[in-house]
Structure formats: structure tokens, C-alpha cells
Structure 1
Amino acid sequence: MLITANRAISPLLSFDFYLEAYHRLVKTLKKEEDLKHLREVLNGNLGSHIQNLILEENYDTLVVTCPKQHIVWVNDGFTQMTGYTKHFAIGKRPSFLQGKETPKSTTNEIREQLKATNTYSGSVINHRKNGEPYLCKIQILPLYDSQKELTHFIALEKELMAA
């Protein structure tokens, strides 16, 4: 403990500040790494709106699909959240994660919104590789090229913890 003229400063308090700053830095670096990979996957067609969204939103995983909704890329957070490897996920539809607990009305709404190339935001109950269910908040956005043709969908996913 450091003692100054009128007060004592605990090194543990300064470590708390350091740790918080460290976690923010790690999160920012992971997001920048995600953006780098996304630019490669999307051949540089990543609008500033999507870049800003990725930098500002709190997500665990990113999933990119082709217009027919087959996975073409996932970030490292996908394996951490689901237990499935990137290699296993590529080529599959994200719905392989959904369980019976997700209402049919929700899956129908997602399907209809994507068919109309609209954005979708909501929650689903997914299952990890080990079968464990988890509540997942998803935000899905269509991505377009310079000719306004749909090229991909991107989903930002965040596990919601039970209260």
C-alpha cells in the first residue's frame, strides 16, 4: 500500500483500472481482427455502416452467409460460444444450431425477413455442440455490392445470460 500525505492508495485499486482497460483493449483488437477477415471474405465490400456497427456493438460471434443462407465465414467467437469448429459450420445453415425450444413463429419470422432481404433482430434458443441450450440475441443484416445486389447476410450474435 502506498501512503501519501493524507491518504493511502491501494495497488489493487489501480490494478482494477488496469484490468478494465486491458479488457477493453483486447475486445477492440478482436473487433479489428474480425473486420480484417470480413474485408477479405467480402472482397473489400464492407460499408462504413457495417464497420461502425461491428466496432460499436457488443457481440460474441459473427456469422456470414451467402444469400441462400449457407455459412461462408464465422469468427473465433463462434467456436467459443457454440463448441463447433469453423470447419464444421462452413456450408451449413445457421439454423442447425436452433433447438425445439425456439418457437416455429420465430423461425418463420426470420425466414420471411431474410427472404425479403430485411434486417432481423430477436432472440432464439440455440444449442451448443454438447447439447446445452442457450439464449442467443441475433441481429441479421443484408449486405449489398456496389450494384445494390445482395451478396451476403451478416449476423451479430450475443449470448444472453438467464436472470
Structure 2
Amino acid sequence: MIDTPNTTITPILSFDFYIENYHKLTLSLKKEVDLKALNSVLRIELDGKTKQIIEEEPYEAMVVTSPDRQIVWVNQGFAEMTGYDKKFALGKNPKFLQGEKTEKETIHNISKHLNQQQVYSGSIINYRKNGERYRCDIKILPLYNSKQELTHFIALEREAPAA
């Protein structure tokens, strides 16, 4: 190879490849941990469709509620995103994250979907423990047992990028 005075050759750093794959691996492992915890908490095997959604849907926080919408489990991402301790959330309704700027229409729309046991996808304004407001993208899935009876709701949540 001929090197000219105006040409600089730099090697591709393996770190660039490493960090990209590391990030993907970390997300994959977090989802694997969440799925194992879900199976333990729910005491049922998730159906293939729900499992696929969890594996493919981007999320930071996962919240599991009973049919009456009381939180029975949250992942570590919930604590990191909201600032609330995992134990604090247990037994509460997720409405404790809402506040002054939370749109009433959005709350009504979520309730309507859950009452009809339908999947809900949308976003809502929530509040962190420190009072900071953030827009949260949510996907809520109803879960059923083998008799097709509603057992839980799973919410996959992530902070929406600022506009």
C-alpha cells in the first residue's frame, strides 16, 4: 500500500464493535431476567405471543398488576426510571405515578381498554419520585390462564424521547 502525505490510515477500533454488541447483549439479558421473574411471579407459562412481544418490544420498566390493577411486581428498570423503590410500588395502583399534567382523556382511554381486557398502546405523562415530569410510552397486555380467565396485566414502559 502506498502512503501519501495527505492520507491518514486509522484502524477500526474493536471497542466500537464491542460496545455495540455489549449493549445488545445487556438488553437481551435484562429481558431474560424479567421473563424468568415473570414466570415465577405469575406461576404460569407465558403464551408464545406475549413472550415474543416482551422479547421484541423496547422497554425500560415492566409492571405487573392484578386484574384489580394493584401492582404485584416491578422490574429493576421501574425503580431506575421512576425513582421509586420496588417495594414501595407493591400493592399500589399505578395511578400514583400520575399528576397535575397527566391528561384525563389518556387515563380514561387506558381504563376503557383495561375494562375491555384489550391491549393498550400509547403514552402518558407520569411523575418521578422527585416530582420531575416525563412522558412514558406504555404497552399494556392482558394475561390469561389456561381457562382464558384474566389473571394479570403487564405494562411495558419506556421514557419517550423529548420532542
With structure 1 as the length reference, what TM-score do the two structures score?
A: 0.92
Superposition RMSD in Å: 1.4
Deviation at 1:119, TM superposition (A): 1.1
Residues 107-143 of structure 1: CA deviation (Å, up to 9, x unaligned): 0111111111111111100000000000000010100
Amino acid at match of 1:101: K
SS of corresponding position for 2:155: strand
Matches of 1:159 and 1:72, distance apart in 2: 21
Alignment match, 2:94: 94
Structure 1 stretch 73-82 or stretch 109-118: which is displaced more? 109-118
Shift of 1:14: 2.0
Deviations 1:5-44 (A, max 9, x none): 5794425x32111100011111101100000000001113
**Residue in 1 aligned with 2:117?**
117
Equivalent position of 2:23 in the other structure: 23
**SS where residue 117 of structure 1 aligns?**
coil
* TM-aligned CA deviation for residue 91 of structure 1: 0.3
Q: Report the equivalent of 2:40.
A: 40
Count of residue pairs brought into register by the alignment: 158
Contact 2:101 2:125 in 1 (8 A): yes
Quick one: percent identity of the two aligned structures? 55
- SS of 1:19's equivalent in the other structure is helix
Consecutive unaligned residues in structure 1, runs of 5 or more: none
- Matched AA of 2:11: S
Amino acid at match of 2:21: A
Answering whether residue 59 of structure 2 is matched by residue 59 of structure 1, we say: yes
Structure 1 residue runs of 4 or more that deviate by more than 3 Å after TM superposition: 5-9
- Give the match's secondary structure for 2:45: coil
TM-score (norm 2): 0.92
Is it true that 1:10 corresponds to 2:17 in the alignment?
no
What SS does the aligned partner of 2:146 have? coil
SS of the residue corresponding to residue 142 of structure 1 reads strand
2:140 maps to: 140
The answer to whether the 8 Å contact 2:140/2:155 transfers is yes
